[in-house]
Chain A
Amino acid sequence: MKKFILKNAMALVALAIATGSYTLMSFKPALETQEFGREIPNPSQPDQFNWVPLEGLEEGVDYDCNASDEICKEAFESHQIDPLTNAPYPNETSVSSTPGTFDM
């Protein structure tokens, strides 16, 4: 018996490691993959978003768009161009870039 243990010591160590790690793994949840190098905000935790809300902008309230506002310009431009083809929408009436209101 002693001879067998000495002869197969490394194999027994390997078996012990395998058994131990398998037991430990059965206690922990499935492998968690991590994203390194960049913090990805979790939508379930809104505090993680670093928002700088526009003044007077509230959910469900119409926002008065001024032509001088950068955000309004971007919103109007993105409404007029198909992001897939980069061409204006053919069957839609083009949205004028004049000041107006839109629902946020």
Chain B
Amino acid sequence: MKTKTHIITLISIALLLLWIPASLDKLIYFQAFKSGILRQPFSDTLGQMLIYTLPLLEIIAAICIVNGRFRLVGFGLSSLLMAAFTGYIGIALLGAWEKLPCGCGSVISGMSWTQHLWFNLFFLALSIWGYFLQRGLHRSSGSGLGAAEGLSAKRQHKNNLLNILNLKR
């Protein structure tokens, strides 16, 4: 249980290290990001939509991961985003487009498409692993009395004692 919690914390930090700089980069250099997205081989309508939704979704994922109550949503959203990015790169590597501009920021900008694919696969695996670990943690804590209702440990202990007393009677 404790090991699981530690692993979840480490995965959370790794994903925060991915999403926070990625979203900040998009917001700070918004014009560069915008032109990068519009040069992608998909329609301008989808591009315009992605320009605003991508940074927003990345920020939401980061906020959810920070907040323990929504961490499961954060891992789920991270998995979805990473799956979409990885799929896109996979299609690009299969040669669907003659050329593909990469509007990537920070460390990622120096990577080739293959390196980019491995990088994304690693974070995709991490997000999925985190999601299942967090779900397991939710379920195991949910089976305990009152944990799902968000009761304090002291009140849970009191409830446990009352239940034992009731059973004895």
Which residues of A approach B to under 8 Å, CB–CB?
Answer: 10-11, 13-14, 17-18, 21-22, 24-25, 30-38
Interface residues of B, dominant DSSP: helix
Supposing A18-B24, A36-B113, A37-B92 touch, asked if A11 and B66 sit within 8 A by C-beta, the answer is yes
CB distance from B124 to the nearest CB of A (A): 20
A34 adjacent to B20 (CB under 8 Å): no
Q: A25-B28, A31-B32 are in contact. Are A18 and B113 (CB under 8 A)?
A: no
Give the chain A neighbours of B32 by CB distance below 8 A.
30-31, 33
- Per the 8 Å Cβ criterion, residues 6-21 of B in contact with A are 9, 12-13, 16-17, 20-21
* Nearest chain A residue, comparing its CB with the CB of B113: A36
If A10-B9, A37-B113 are given as contacts, then 14 extra A-B residue pairs at C-beta distance below 8 Å, sorted by A number, are A10-B66, A11-B66, A14-B20, A21-B25, A22-B24, A24-B21, A31-B29, A33-B36, A33-B102, A33-B103, A35-B100, A36-B92, A36-B102, A37-B98
CB distance from A52 to the nearest CB of B (A): 23
Please, which residues of chain B bring their CB within 8 A of the CB of A36? 92, 99-102, 112-113
Minimum distance in angstroms from A27 CB to a CB of chain B = 12
Asked whether A38 lies within 8 Å of B104 as measured between CB atoms, the reply is no
Which B residues are in CB contact (< 8 Å) with A22? 24, 28
Residues of A within 8 A of B29 (CB): 30-31
Taking a contact as CB atoms under 8 Å apart, the answer to whether B113 and A10 are in contact is: no
Residues of A within 8 A of B24 (CB): 18, 21-22, 25
Q: Size range of the interface on B?
A: 35 or more
**Min distance, Cβ A36 to any Cβ of chain B, angstroms:** 5
Q: Are B21 and A10 in contact (CB under 8 A)?
A: no
Asked whether, in the complex, the Cβ of B21 is within 8 Å of the Cβ of A17, the reply is yes
B88 to chain A, nearest CB (A): 12
Could you say which of B28, B62, B92, B102 contacts A34, with CB atoms under 8 Å apart? B102
B35 beta carbon closer than 8 Å to chain A: yes
> Are A21 and B99 touching (Cβ within 8 A)?
no
Say yes or no: B98 contacts A31, CB within 8 Å.
no
Give CA–CA (A24, B16) in the complex, Å: 16
Docked pose: A14 CA to B24 CA in angstroms:
12
> Is B142 engaged at the interface, CB distance under 8 Å to the other chain?
no
